Amino acid sequence: MIKHRIFIGFILFEILVLVFLFLHGVVAKNNRSSEIRRKRIIVHDLMLTDLSIWTEARYTRNPSQADLFSPFQDYPSSIEHFPAGSIIAPAPASILRGEFK
Amino acid sequence: MKKHIKILEFALSTLWRRKYKNLGIIVVFSIIVFTLSSILLLTYSFKREAVAILSGAPELIVQRVTGGRHDLIPLDYIKEIKSIPGTGEIIPRYWGYYYDISTDGNYTILGAYDRLYDSIRLLKGDFIKKGRQGVCVIGRGVSNARFADIGSKIPIVGSDGKVHVFTVIGVFDAKSSIVTNDLVIISLKDIRSLFSIPEDLSTDIVVRVYNPVEVNNIAGKIKSRLPDTRPITRSEILRTYDTLFDWRSGLILTMFSGAVLAFIILAWDKATGLSAEEKREIGILKAIGWETSDIMELKFWEGLVISSVSFLTGLIGGYIHIFFFGASIFSPALKGWSVICPKFHLMPYIDPYQVAVLLFLTVVPYMAATIVPSWKASITDPDVVMRG
């Protein structure tokens, strides 16, 4: 009658670790909220429009500015030249159609 | 209660008798949950962080389109836009891309605006003061790629074919890399001369709108008054990023569906039938007086033990992978061909709904796949079951 104790103990341990990790997430979010605010200020002051994650093509560097409307253009999920384009999804169809929402 | 604990104990003993097989299932199951949870946590926190940061983006940007291509916009358009009621400050933006042959990296060159000097934070060194030329502020990615620090020189070949040299006076902090990593900020005069931008043109125009409700209305008016323009609103930018990091896209979907298929194969293998040994075991239990409900409970515990251990281990692993190790397993795929790519220090945003969905998509089908064939065996005559 020892196995079930080990099992319950192990499950409780894993749940505790998970609760600890989620609490860590909450604390980290609170601690880093000022960091997010400062990044938002940088975006506001430098008038940036996109995240600097994929710098391999214009449409992956600035997906929100990509000219989705023009002929012969590239955009994520079109016939793809760059690996990052297969990771990121294209803009919503309404943006492609130039609708303001 | 004692009866349930005894059945659990028996279930654990049964699992332990086939420990290598069951440990194998736990390892595979955990890896599947790890992959699925990593994808869900990564895409969700990317999305949340992007939207949180980019809510500071300009309310409205006006681009000019000539012959279906983004073109430089005449500064005369500012007068026309200013005449639209509800518009605030209108600022021309100067920016462009530069391919650096020495590092194979692409930089984003940005012109600094007049009123920025003291507001920029997360920066080591100084920002460009008004009227100062020949200096630049660079992102951490550029700094690392060129081994450049404050005082270093950055040569950039201009549109005129000449080399323009800029002295680094500030480097953005790594914490801001997600927005500044590839930036090279120079003065307005420098960027005009570097890219040979005529005095009466700019890359695009930022329009500040005081009343957010009016943005779409103003964008529509700009489009009708200046038909060769393309207004991009902040909400469009945010919507783009909302769909950008979607688990249903491209490579992410490939990884996701691969993991789901692996799980389906695992569950299918369970559901298609019991091994002869398992059937004999059920037959013996029935023959010595176990009820069908007891056998069902035994199988329930067996399924729960494997799926709960795997689910929790996989989820813990996924969390640690994404938020402690910056998605290090995925990062070579995420990075693509980008030479300048930031390290991911993602904010731990967790969507309880996604965790619940993951739980229902993995634990419940596995338990069903364990219980159903056992139920079939346990309602059959023990003699028939034991003989196979």
- Express each pLDDT in B201-221 by its tens digit: 999 999 999 888 999 999 999
Instruction: List B residues 231-260 in contact with A (Cβ-Cβ < 8 A).
Output: 231-233, 235-237, 239-241, 243-246, 248-252
- Binning pLDDT at 50, 70 and 90, where does residue A86 land? low
Q: If pLDDT is split at 50, 70 and 90, which confidence band does A100 have?
A: low
CA B299/CA B7 separation, integer angstroms: 9
pLDDT single digits (tens) A13-67: 999 999 999 999 999 888 888 888 889 988 988 999 998 888 888 888 888 887 6
- Is pLDDT larger for residue B198 or for residue B343? B198
pLDDT at res. A83: 61
Residues recorded for chain A: 101
Residue ranges of domains in chain A: 3-45, 58-96
pLDDT score for B77 = 94
Contact residues for B137 (Cβ-Cβ < 8 A; gap 6+): B112, B120, B123, B125, B126, B127, B128, B168, B169, B170, B171, B172, B183, B184, B185
Q: Which two tokens stand for residue A47?
A: 């008038």
How distant, in Å, are the alpha carbons of B13, B14, B372 from that of B378?
A: 19, 16, 10
pLDDT, residue B283, reads 82
- Confirm or reject contact between B141 and chain A (CB < 8 A): yes
pLDDT at res. B226 = 93
Mean local confidence (pLDDT), B293-301: 87
pLDDT at B197: 94
Nearest C-alpha neighbor of A40 from the set B241, B53, B176: B53
Q: Cβ contact (<8 Å) for A64 and B241?
A: yes
Q: Other CB atoms closer than 10 Å to residue B260's CB: what's the count?
A: 16
Interface check for B89 against chain A (CB to CB < 8 A): the answer is no
Contact yes or no for A39/B178 (Cβ under 8 A): yes
Angle between helices B234-244 and B19-54 (to 10 degrees): 170
B-chain residues near A43 (CB < 8 A): 53-54, 56-57, 179
CA B211 to chain centre: 31
Q: Which residues 33-52 in chain A show a CB within 8 A of chain B?
A: 35-36, 38-52
Of A39, A54, A82, the CB nearest to B53: A39
Give the model's confidence band at B109: pLDDT under 50 very low, under 70 low, under 90 confident, else very high.
Answer: very high
What is the value of ipTM here, to two decimals?
Answer: 0.83
Give B153's pLDDT tier (boundaries 50, 70, 90).
very high
> Rounded mean pLDDT of chain B?
86
**Cross-chain CB nearest to A89 (options B113, B236, B249):** B249
pLDDT tens, B223-279?
999 999 999 999 989 888 887 776 666 566 777 778 778 878 877 777 676 777 777
Chain A residues lying within 8 Å of B176, measured CB to CB:
38-39, 42
Distance CA B324, CA A24 (A): 11
Burial class (CB in 10 A: 0-12, 13-18, 19+), B55: middle
Whole-number percent of chain B with pLDDT over 90 = 39
Contacts of B245 in chain A (CB under 8 A): 88-89
Token code pair at residue B288: 């010595």
User: What are the pLDDT digits (tens) for B62-92?
Assistant: 999 888 788 899 999 999 999 999 898 999 9
What's the per-residue H, E or C state across B300-312? HHHHHHHHHHHHH
Residue B105, strand partner residues: B100
Q: What is the pLDDT of residues B322-372, one digit of tens each?
A: 999 988 888 777 777 777 778 878 888 888 888 898 898 888 888 888 888
